[in-house]
Homo-oligomer: A and B are copies of this chain.
Amino acid sequence: MPVNLPLPQAEHLKPVAGVELGWAEAGIRKANRKDVLVVRVAEGSTVAGVFTSNRFCAAPVQVCREHLTAGKGIRALVVNTGNANAGTGEPGLANARAACDALAAQLGIAPEQVLPFSTGVILEPLPVDRLVAGLPAAIANAKPDNWLAAAEAIMTTDTQPKAASRTVQIDGKTVTLSGISKGAGMIRPNMATMLGFIAMDAAVAQPVLQALVSHAADHSFNSITIDGDTSTNDSFVLIATGKSGAVVDRAEGPAFEALRDAVTALAQELAQMIVRDGEGATKLMTIRVEGGKDVAECRQIAYAVAHSPLVKTAFYASDPNLGRILAAVGYAGVDDLDVDRVNLWLDDVWVARDGGRNPDYREEDGQRVMKQAEITVRIALGRGQAEATVWTCDLSHDYVSINADYRS
């Protein structure tokens, strides 16, 4: 059961002028499930993305980078689930290109105007013929108000689709943003998450869009972890169609800031949905590290805590075995950390004070917070002004079941 994650309602998801979404059941891995998504983007849109830092990056990620660099203007995205097309070598690259070629031919655009995405099992050949055979159906049912179906079409071990919308006023014009994401395991994005797409109808110059996507990724998809496993296929793409008439042509000023905050907030919402639906998750933990010398060391400590199986199982058990958090802070690799300045809070409960147990801490207060479904762990390092926040979930029996059974 995901953590406080209501099913998205189709009527709450706003069409974005210039974007149409269509899906197909192509039988990539299993029959009778949506597993192909085609996103059509109006001519003149700008598109920017960030991708996995995994050295074994998947074939579609390599093709995405090529096509974004080609600069011909992106007009379509094609996504398949059921197979990651990663660890597949030259044949994998050829398959990713074949998917782009087929979609381009049917839409009357150039192959370089298509971005391909894949998610699923690694090290197995992509059945690209099935993917291609599914494209006509996906093109035929593409329409602007298909965001919920699009979110369903990119699910793998997700228990429910992830989608959200919002609007922001830019220079008196209403800009609409809608986005979808997927991912529930192999989640410790290190450029972006498994798959995240946000479209908006502002007109945004390409370098400004790149600044937006990087900022949003750093504060959302790049700040979540479920199991510490950075995927081979992480991709986060931002699309700006310009159809609202609002124009953002430089990476500063009030219009840029308003749009940046809206994109970042939507990306955070989508990223947190991934954690709420993390494989086997029963709790959402916000790990906030403050008082660091720089953001890097705050993130380093936050991730050490977020990745500790002992911390994660204690939260699963609602057991305030909080020394495990201090142990993770201690082994995070900040070599000159003075532990006597470290303080720890669980929500409002002051647990550790100046490196030791707070004399006023009572076990029942820790117990009370640990029973909640959403918990903030706040760690103050007492050595500077930097801070960072990471979101994660607990480690439960269901995580083991899901990952011991996935593929079978």
Report whether A57 and B122 are in contact in the complex, using a CB–CB cutoff of 8 Å.
Answer: no
Q: Are B229 and A321 in contact (CB under 8 A)?
A: no
- How many chain A residues sit at the interface, stated as a range, is 35 or more
> Who on chain B is nearest to A56 by CB?
B330
Contacts of A91 in B (CB 8 A): 356
Identical chains bound together, number: 2
Determine whether the beta carbon of B406 is less than 8 Å from that of A321: yes
Expressed in whole angstroms, the minimum distance between the Cβ of A406 and any Cβ of chain B is 7
Which of A185, A357, A404 has the largest number of chain B CB atoms within 10 A? A404
Task: Describe A's contact surface by its main secondary structure.
Answer: loop
Contact between chains at A397 and B401 (CB < 8 Å): yes
| Any B CB within 8 A of the CB of A310 | yes
A377 to B119, CA, bound (A): 25
A337's nearest neighbour on chain B, judged by CB, is B55
Q: Is the CB of A352 within 8 A of B123?
A: yes
Task: For the complex formed, measure the closest distance between the CB of A377 and the CB atoms of chain B, giving whole angstroms.
Answer: 14
Q: Are A323 and B87 in contact (CB under 8 A)?
A: yes
Minimum C-beta distance from A364 to chain B (A): 15
Distance from A274 Cβ to chain B, minimum over Cβ atoms (Å): 16
B326 engages A123 (CB within 8 Å): yes
User: Are B357 and A125 in contact, with the CB atoms below 8 A?
Assistant: yes
Asked whether A95 is an interface residue with its Cβ less than 8 Å from the other chain, the reply is no
A sample of 7 cross-chain residue pairs with beta-carbon separation below 8 angstroms, ordered by A number, consists of: A55-B334, A228-B307, A230-B330, A232-B323, A309-B395, A317-B404, A319-B408
